[in-house]
Amino acid sequence: MMSGGVDSSVAAALLVDEGHEVVGATLKLWGGESDSGCCSISDVDDARRVADHLGIDHHTFNFGDAFTEHVVAPYAADHAAGRTPNPCIECNRHIKFAAVDERARRLGFDAVATGHHARVVQLPDGTRRIARGADADKDQSYVLHVLDQDRLSRTLLPIGGLHKDQVRAHAAAAGLRTASKPDSQDVCFITKAQGRGSFLGDRIPLTPARVVDVAGTAVGHVAAVELVTLGQRKGLGLPGGTDPRYVVGIDRATATVTVGGPEDLLVAEQLVAGWAWSAGPESGDVAVQVSAHGRPKAARVVTDRDGGAVVRWAEPQRRVAAGQSVVAYVDDLVVGGGTAT
């Protein structure tokens, strides 16, 4: 897949250099405005010109309806229900490594390659894992935890062993027009000018909410409870001059947001839904990461037959906002993951 950025451009170039038969495919996902560096006409043009420079064919696949169904609509619905979604992970789950792979199979291709900063490794028992990329600052293994063994067997991540400066150097040496192109933002369908509030306000009702402290004393209000997330500190409009206050509770039914100190967020366990192991269960200690670039923390994961899981922290950790991904690692390998409830 060629997004029109430097990473996917170099991924294609490396595969060409290795002698693979490569065809560039750019996805048209979002039909609305975009200023984030992806899903725009200029990105399609950049990808097409890079493909032409590399001497490979280029196609544009329109998955707009699937993107709206599986990414945009759930994003709005999650906010309405008080969850904090991760649309990039859902895009990977349903579009980039599902719909695209199915299209590639029908067209007779052996694999799908992307410019993600992660690696696919095969273990001695034949199973595969997503592994962290060489560049810790750009590592994207967290957002790829949704790939199962079938998808991993058909996935190539050519730049996973490179640092970002090496990627840009390779692009410059190859004369690729994307060599100095800025990285894209995470949410491609929300523009900087529009913002999340305006985007969601066009799709769901936004409810003003009162803000109280842990004792129940009113301390302020927010314009929309749907825009508040657990652990949030900024953007609450609270008066300064006090110790830092974080969102420690959100009650959609009463439109009430509770704030407290960092200690009020600490828990010994985290409930997770939809847990899936990459190959087989891990019964010992793992390192659990709860954001794309967060620091992994020691824990054990206990699962049930219905896909539920309990993450038991070695030391109390902050609660994870419902809707966010919880991903387990052993060393640099992704071994499982699910969604916080």
Q: Give domain limits for the chain.
A: 6-173, 206-260, 265-340
Give the closest residue to 154 by CA, choosing from 114, 195, 207, 204: 114
What integer best gives the mean pLDDT of the chain? 95
* Residue tagged active-site, from 38, 39, 88, 91: 91
Report pLDDT for 85: 96
pLDDT at residue 13 is higher than 90: yes
Lowest mean pLDDT among 194-198, 208-212, 314-318: 194-198
Retrieve residue 201's tokens.
Answer: 């306000």
Q: What is the average per-residue pLDDT within 130-155?
A: 97
Backbone φ, ψ for residue 79 (5° rounding): -60, -40
Catalytic, 91? Answer yes
Report pLDDT for 188: 85
Give the closest residue to 317 by CA, choosing from 330, 299, 305: 299
Q: What is the average per-residue pLDDT within 146-152?
A: 97
Report pLDDT for 107: 95
pLDDT at residue 124 is higher than 80: yes
What letter represents residue 198's amino acid? S
Rounded CA separation 27/38 (Å): 10
pLDDT at residue 35 is higher than 60: no
CATH classification for the domain delimited by 6-173, as one of 3.40.50.300, 3.40.50.720, 3.40.50.620, 2.30.110.10? 3.40.50.620
**Inter-residue contact 277 to 292 (CB < 8 Å):** no
For residues 27 and 39, the model is more confident at: 27
Catalytic, 38? Answer no
Report pLDDT for 242: 78
pLDDT at residue 74 is higher than 90: yes
* Residue tagged active-site, from 38, 39, 88, 188: 188
What letter represents residue 83's amino acid? R
Give the closest residue to 29 by CA, choosing from 84, 72, 74: 72
Q: What is the average per-residue pLDDT within 306-322?
A: 97
pLDDT at residue 315 is higher than 60: yes
Work out the percent of the chain whose per-residue pLDDT is above 70.
97
**Would the CATH topology of 6-173 be identical to that of 206-260?**
no
Instruction: Give exposure, 177-213, as e/b (b: 16+ Cβ within 10 Å).
Output: ebbebeebeebbbbbeeeeeeebbbeebebeebebbb
In CATH, the number for domain 206-260 is 2.30.30.280
pLDDT at residue 37 is higher than 80: no
Report pLDDT for 135: 98
Report pLDDT for 208: 97
Lowest mean pLDDT among 58-62, 176-180, 191-195: 191-195
Report pLDDT for 62: 95
Q: What is the average per-residue pLDDT within 315-321?
A: 98
Report pLDDT for 36: 55
pLDDT at residue 267 is higher than 70: yes
CATH classification for the domain delimited by 265-340, as one of 2.40.30.10, 3.30.300.20, 1.20.210.10, 3.40.50.10140? 2.40.30.10
Retrieve residue 245's tokens.
Answer: 């206050």
DSSP character at residue 289? E
Lowest mean pLDDT among 99-113, 176-190, 304-318, 323-337: 176-190
Report pLDDT for 34: 58
In sequence order, the 6+-apart residues with CB closer than 8 A to the CB of 285 are 298, 299, 300, 314
Give the closest residue to 41 by CA, choosing from 55, 30, 54: 30
**Inter-residue contact 157 to 118 (CB < 8 Å):** yes
